[in-house]
Amino acid sequence: MDCQVGQLKHVQPLPAPFLGSSSLLIPSSPTISQPSPTTLPPPSPTAPTNLACEHAIRTKRKTNGQSHLPVVSAPTAPDCGPNRSRPSTRHTSIPATTTGAAPPSPREAEEAETKPPRHVMSHHRSPSPIALAPASSTSDIEKEPRNGDGEKGSLGGDVPPKYDYEDEVVPIKADKLNRTLTARQVQMIAIGGTIGTGLFLGTGKSLATGGPASMLICYIIIGVIVFLTMLALGEMASFIPVAGSFCTFAGRFVDDAFGFALTWNYWFNDAVSTAADLVALQLILSYWNTAMPGWGLSLIFWVVLILANIITVKAYGELEYWLSLLKVITIIIFIFLGIAVNAGGNIDNHYIGGENWRLPGAPFVGGIGGFASVFVTASFAYGGTESIAITAGETASPHKNIPRVIKNVFWRILLFYVISILLIGLDVAYTTPNLSTKEAATSPFTLVFQMVGSKVAGSFINAMIMTSVLSAGNHALFAGTRLLYTLAVNGHAPAFFGKLNRNRVPWIAVLATSLIAGLCFGASFIGAGQLWTWLQNIVGVSNQLSWISIGIASLRFRAGLEAQGKTHLLTFRNWTYPYGPWFVVIGCSFLVLVQGWGCFSPTFNAIDFVSYYVELPIMLLMFVVWKLIKRTKVVKLEEMDLVTDVYHPEPGEMDRDAAVGWKGKAKATLRWIF
């Protein structure tokens, strides 16, 4: 019994119960039309089955109208009848051969045994192979197109739009990492990306240069931009969950040169962010006046970060989980303590109220330049929130977990940033020494704890801030290595950066990214405080460029879905489209141009100017060079790749966590809050 190349002969009709139970993609109603009946051998209850039947039935791609039928050969065996085994999610490839052809090589046999990624689904599922019916010489099986809107499926019957996908076997390009990050870890990693060095240490610089009102307003504006950005990113990342995330989307939906420039820019951003966190450790250490050199502490933590990221993604996820949990506890304690200190629960038993907003020069300090400079500091603080989508490539059930994390970003911004910034502006005067100097920078959080009157309280919060800085560096190094891996996979970097160890971790990318971070923090001899300020400006601008790119990619992504009629396949929709992405693009573009106002007044500061604007020519140069070398063009909407790496959830997986009963509703409520 053979299937000839490029065509599929008569196949025995599949029983209706089989069609109804194997997959939601195959409804149980009509049978396959057959121009000429074929006599089949009776089924044997003991003979093994073969999966060739499963692999032979394929739908035609709408993109080019060609049939992608594998060439298969099945031994004499029973048909796909009632004696089949119970369907399961196992999908086993069978090497295709023809009559008289040589048997498959050992390598081909080994590859045939390889289990594909979980989201590479087929219409029929069976743990044991199913035999292909004898071929007939008459005609092929006619297949009707699907559009997911209640029209006929490939085997007849109405296809539920929820689980209707054009291609049952999805091409895999970048999705080769292990999906071992749990929902628990992803939730905490999202928080870890939100709370970091910028909040605990960067707010001191914001308060000193802009004043309490400027700091509050700027952080709210940037918070709105980040929330809108995350909604747009969540829509794309839940549909195509790959490690490259928005960098991959920029190349796939806009222009390959655009993706090239953005990915290299953001990789450098993550490397510099890791260095900034290592430098921040030196500033935090200065609180205790210890004899230990700051660079020694940075070196120790640098090695810890490398080990956490190079062993396995589980090690990274678990470390980030507990460090992020400490961040949450610290923020909650600070909020209650900050309210108590302001109300009079301080060492002087003095009610503070709004006194610090009425100091000379407050609440707006430094005029327009001071106000504008807070934007880049706030952008540095919020940076990393968008990188949660990078974990989508190693997240289980990304179509559920990624949207769940994205939806909760708003509450984290409100709780962790807006309330904390308000309390800092009320409790700490902008004239407080060492908020931001060349050699040191004291965290406003530490100052508030000191106001309680206990040296132990100050040491406690400083230690908590140190763990938060370690978490931020861990998160930045993880994101940077995954982007360098994506560059290698896409052909934008040497291929050896894409090599994986036995735990499927891009270990060479980890070493390369950490090396750049080590070189950056090694320059702290010029003054840790000054170096940290420059690195903060560079990373802040880079974050804004990334948000602009996400907004552009989102607009193109939706337009491509509409042009190809695939909007119904979205598992998570950005309810602010198209106004949200446009606000992000226009708002961030304006901020990138004006936030360096302070470096022109009262005198021109060349070093500050470079730190504010060096990212612009570098990213533009990379875009132009790659476009000229590769002759890339803007992707046409009709030709946009909306197939590769698309996540196809299992039938019923979308409703697996449905809120049933009071326990289910309670869990759903807790997920919504946290």
Q: For 507-557, write each residue's pLDDT tens digit.
A: 999 999 999 888 877 776 666 777 888 889 999 999 999 999 999 999 999
In the beta sheet, which residues pair with residue 542? none
pLDDT of residue 127: 38
Please give the share of the chain, as a percent, with pLDDT higher than 90.
31
DSSP annotation of 307: H
Is residue 609 a contact partner of residue 596, using CB atoms and an 8 Å limit? yes
pTM for the model stands at: 0.70
Q: What is the pLDDT of residue 364?
A: 93
Q: Which residues of 387-405 are buried (b: 16+ CB within 10 A; e: fewer)?
A: bbbbbbbbbebbbbbbbbb
**Number of neighbours of residue 240 by Cβ within 10 angstroms:** 26
Instruction: Kindly state the average pLDDT of the residues 602-610.
Output: 87
Residue (of 422, 428, 419, 418) closest to 356 by Cα position: 428
pLDDT digits (tens, 9 = 90+) for 474-519: 888 988 898 898 889 888 899 999 888 888 888 999 999 999 888 8
**Can you give the pLDDT at residue 532?**
84
Residue 280's pLDDT band, with cuts at 50, 70 and 90, is: confident
Would the pLDDT of 121 be above 80? Answer: no
Contact between 459 and 188 under an 8 Å Cβ cutoff? The reply is no
Q: What band does 667 get if pLDDT is binned at 50, 70 and 90?
A: low
Higher pLDDT, 424 or 478: 424
Considering just the CA atoms, what is the radius of gyration of the chain in Å? 29
Q: Are 515 and 536 in contact (CB under 8 A)?
A: no
Q: What is the pLDDT of residues 312-340, one digit of tens each?
A: 777 777 878 888 888 888 889 999 999 99
pLDDT at 171 over 70: no
- Over range 199-207, report the average pLDDT: 89
Average pLDDT over residues 582-601: 92
Query: Can you give the pLDDT at residue 20?
Result: 41
The span from the CA of 458 to the CA of 480, in Å, is 33
- For residue 394, the one-letter residue type is E
Q: Assign domain 183-673 one CATH number from 3.90.470.10, 3.40.47.10, 3.40.1180.10, 1.20.1740.10.
A: 1.20.1740.10
User: Where are the CATH 1.20.1740.10 domain residues in the chain?
Assistant: 183-673
Q: What pLDDT shows up at residue 660?
A: 56
* Mean pLDDT score of the chain: 74
Question: What's the whole-number mean pLDDT along residues 152-166?
Answer: 37
Is there a contact between 532 and 285 (Cβ–Cβ < 8 Å)? Answer: no
Q: Which ranges of 366-454 does DSSP label H, i.e. alpha helix? A: 367-382, 398-407, 409-412, 419-427, 444-450
Among 352, 342, 326, smallest CA distance to 460 is for 326
Instruction: Specify the pLDDT at position 419.
Output: 93
List helix spans (H) across 30-114: 52-56, 106-113
**Residue 457 and residue 426: Cα distance in Å, rounded?**
19
Residue with the larger pLDDT of the pair 383 and 407? 383
SS3 assignment, position 629: helix
pLDDT at 311: 82
Closest of 215, 200, 198 to residue 363, by C-alpha: 215
Query: What pLDDT is stored for residue 315 in this prediction?
Result: 76
Confidence band, pLDDT 50/70/90 cuts, at residue 460: confident
Classify burial at 63, counting beta carbons within 10 Å of its beta carbon; exposed 0-12, middle 13-18, buried 19 or more: middle
Instruction: Please give, one letter per residue, the 3-state secondary structure of 532-570.
Output: HHHHHHHHHHHHHHHHHHHHHHHHHHHHHHHHHCCHHHC
Cα distance between residue 183 and residue 210, in whole Å: 39
